[in-house]
Structure 1
Amino acid sequence: MSINAEVCPVTVASRLSTLIEQLLGSPLPLRLRAWDGSEAGPTGGPVLVVRHRRALRRTLFRPGELGLARAWVAGDLDVEGDLYQALTALAGLVWDRPDAAPVTRSRMAAAVPELLALSGPLPLPVRPPGEENRRRRTGPAHSQRRDRSAISHHYDVGNEFYELVLGPSMVYSCAVWGPETDDLQDAQTAKLDLICRKLGLREGQRLLDVGCGWGSLVLHAAQRYGVRAVGVTLSTEQAEYARERVAKEDLTDRVEIRVQDYRRVTDGPFDAVASVGMAEHVGDARYQEYADRLFRLLRPGGRLLNHQIARRPMADESRYRVDPFIDAYVFPDGELAPVGRTVGLLERAGLEVRDMESLREHYALTLRHWVRRLEQEWERAVRLVGPARARIWRLYMAASALQFERGRIGVNQLLAVRTPDDGRAELPLRPRAWVELTS
């Protein structure tokens, strides 16, 4: 054996590192540990762990992000150490560096023999671990039946699990943080109150909450602003939980929770409509219908608060594709649109958009709090929903936090009004008057 071979023995980890460098055109910026315990790469940071050689086969069968996601969900890939640091390093190598050489078909083809040699002659199981968490689609996209199924896939996984992640507020959208706010519950209460003030809620008004979740907004609006509220959701588990909260607070005479598609709400008009974290489920093809419906549900002078995640516009919008991991395992059929397109569609419906507030950094902070809660209660989370789903939620929330921090996606509150014929929109002369109450 040569001196070089003794100093730098060829191990599974070193072979994998070399192969990754050939594929991506750059060294892997993380320490790598293979299934045989061998390690290669830089020290002092997080470690990418390939727990089983099946991970290579999954990548071969589904090249790109989906193959890696399937390996992660199955537990064949893992990260030891700071997950955010690991994802940042990988994003900088693969997605965020404009001069990074893409993994071409020819490069992948050249790597196949080595990948097969490393993965060995092990057939994949018929149903890989965790695949029960992958959404199976039937019927036309964004039909009412398919939307019910998609919502159930994400939300009907157990209210106890969501309590663990979200905390007592049970609000599944970004909180609003202030200079003296470091508590998740307080930040979520601040967000709910900001929405109510933007909507100008007053005693006796009617509020419709489209996609009401576990009922936090309608409860807040009824308790603190005296409104009569209707909350609609497609999730039976959310509705059951929200109704229990309403009954506990003795608000059944003022708050109604329905399992109902927003397209079937016919008992307008409402003085205000809130849509918080729901419009991402609507889909581009249905968004004009969504905007038209909300316009018709408002009385003249009524306000809409549309709180929605947005992506950056593309030079060629026809190239937009939904993130394959999110689509398969997290939010089936979810779509993001640039905020400019959303404004245009709302105004085409007849609404007048009067204010837009970006809460991008607020969502990053919120997600980091959710991830922290999940990690602190990891064993309990696994008992509640299984290891695969817990791994899905941890990865998607951590990756989403980084996406918000880097400005790749944002979240905006759009305040719109159904302006009456006389032009009196019933808004304050200074549209941001509500901000003074939170500064």
Structure 2
Amino acid sequence: MDIEKNFFKTFLKNFDEISFRLKFWDGEEIKVGPDEPKFRIILKAPLKKKDLLTSTSLTFGEAYMNGDVEIEGDMFTVFNELLKCIDKFSTNFKSLNKIFGGSTSMKKQKEEVSSHYDIGNDFYKIWLDDTLCYSCAYFKNENESLYDAQMNKINHILKKLNLSEGLTLLDIGCGWGGLLIEAAKQYKVKGLGITLSEEQYKRFKERIKEENLEDFLDVKLMDYRELKKSGLSFDRIVSVGMLEHVGRPNYDLFFENVNAVLKQGGLFLLHYISGLKESEGDAWIKKYIFPGGVIPSFREIIEISADYNYHTLDAESLRLHYKETLLHWAKNFDDNIDEVRKMFDEKFIRMWRMYLYSCAASFNNGVIDLHQILFVKGVNNNLPMTREYMYK
């Protein structure tokens, strides 16, 4: 025990630029950092040296999920402070091959997507807003509701796509269909959504009927890899929060399939969580939240797009918007925790809270970013010369 405790005290020197209190399993309590402590961590059991050096985030995350770590203080503050020291976290990728060495096959990726998005529509309804948008919102001011910010996001994207009546629009990874529903209602476009989630497919089908949009919209259970042989063709393509599930070996394949169904001169808006540099990601997130998920860097997507003669018209970072979105989700989750407890056990609840708050802190610290990139396939000289139309 003393050996593990002494190692942990040494390990804590990696975090001495932030200030908190830490209580050990034997009752000893110490202060870490130079300033007034902002939170308190209680270790109810030792964290093994080997585990911490293999993956700091996975070891801490699992200990918190299992109740061996307790946190006293505001959850966002805790993770926001800890992630200031993320460069000091350990990750031994070779020892975590089961997490980082997964397949990117069609079958495997469907299983991975289903593991997250098919938890149940009733669960997502608890903490998402009425749009059922499970992606970064767009806050024009800090006082906006989550619903208004999600509608802002949808309208911001639709304006960027420069839509007009009769155009065709494909949404790759369409979720519950909120974006396509607004596109059809506002612009009378003909839209198709594709998803791998059975739950999202069923609900989107229902929403199309509820909105009387059967003449404008359809949704299919379909993998993006099926587009190339589909015979389909679109004036516009949008993909929101889906590229993260593709996997680094398949980015080129993704563009190949987009290119196969996008008309010459057509617009493609890609909205995705991005990294400053190429990374395999975080072990805890990959094991428990997004199996198989990989965050592309901005530069590698720009490089691949050029190979397909895609010109970049606009690129926008929504990093702080995603922080605000996640904090809204986390508050909704906490405010409705009794409803969540009817569905899931305490381990799941602790896991999901850690996911929402740690991701909010990750965006706040620039560990990850969110980019919207607007591409045009080839040259289209009929598009507006300025971006003013996006903000009218």
TM range, normalised to the smaller chain?
A: 0.7 to 0.9
- Aligned with residue 150 of structure 2, among 188, 202, 206: 188
Aligned-pair CA distance for 1:285 = 0.8
1:20-419 alignment to 2 at 5 Å? 20-25=8-13, 29-34=19-24, 38=27, 40-42=29-31, 45-51=38-44, 53=45, 56=48, 59=51, 64-92=56-84, 94-96=85-87, 141-179=103-141, 182-265=144-227, 266-313=230-277, 320-419=279-378
Amino acid at match of 1:342: I
Q: Indicate conservation of the 8 Å contact 2:100/2:283, yes or no.
A: no
Distance 1:17 1:85, change over 3 A: farther
Is the alpha carbon distance of 1:345 and 1:220 closer, same or farther for their aligned partners in structure 2, counting shifts above 3 Å?
same
TM-score (ref. length: structure 2): 0.88
Tell whether the 8 Å contact from 2:322 to 2:363 is kept in structure 1 after alignment. yes
Aligned to 1:427: 383
> 280-289 vs 16-25, which deviates more?
16-25
- Answer whether contact 1:17 1:32 (CA < 8 A) is retained: no
Residues 19 and 55 of structure 1: CA distance in aligned 2, closer, same or farther (over 3 Å): closer
- CA shift at 1:65, angstroms? 2.2
Asked if the contact 1:207/1:274 (under 8 Å) is kept, the reply is yes
Q: CA contact under 8 A between 1:58 and 1:70: conserved in structure 2? A: no
- Code of the aligned partner of 2:204: A
- Partners of 2:160 and 2:200 lie apart in 1 by 25
**Aligned-residue offset at 1:433:** 1.9
Q: Partner letter of residue 41 of structure 2?
A: L
CA pair 63-222 structure 1, distance change in 2 beyond 3 A: closer
Deviation at 1:398, TM superposition (A): 1.2
Alpha-carbon spacing, 1:57–1:374, altered in 2? closer, same or farther (3 Å): farther
- Runs of 4+ in structure 1 off by over 6 angstroms are 14-17, 102-105, 136-140
Segments of structure 1 that go 5 or more residues without pairing to the other structure are 1-11, 106-135
Please identify the structure whose Cα radius of gyration is greater: 1
CA contact (8 A) 1:161 1:385 kept: no
**Which digits, 9 at most, give the CA deviation of each residue in 1:156-175, with x for residues without a partner?**
10111111121211111111
Q: Aligned partners of 2:243, 2:272: CA distance in 1, in Å?
A: 6
Which of 1 and 2 has higher RCO (CA within 8 Å, sep 6+)? 2
**What's the CA shift string for 1:221-274, capped at 9, x where partnerless?**
111111111111000011111111111111122211111101113142101100
Tell me: CA distance 1:57–1:73, structure 2 relative to 1, closer, same or farther (3 Å): farther
Secondary structure, in 3 states, of the residue corresponding to 1:384?
Answer: coil
Native 8 Å contact 1:295 1:351 kept in 2: no
Q: In 2, are the aligned partners of 1:137 and 1:146 still within 8 Å (CA)?
A: no
* Residues 142-166 of structure 1, C-alpha deviations (whole Å, 9 max, x = no match): 2110110010111110111111121
The change in CA–CA distance for 1:261 and 1:104 in structure 2 (over 3 A counts) is closer
**Alpha-carbon spacing, 1:294–1:63, altered in 2? closer, same or farther (3 Å):** closer
**Aligned pairs, number:** 379
Shift of the 289–224 alpha-carbon distance from structure 1 to 2, 3 Å rule, reads same
User: Percentage identity across aligned positions?
Assistant: 32
When structure 1 is superposed on structure 2, of 391-400 and 222-231 the one drifting more is 391-400
Which has the larger displacement, 67-76 or 150-159? 67-76
Q: Aligned partners of 1:181 and 1:89: how far apart in 2?
A: 25
Consecutive unaligned residues in structure 2, runs of 5 or more: 93-97
Secondary structure (helix, strand or coil) at the match of 1:400 reads: helix
RMSD: 2.8
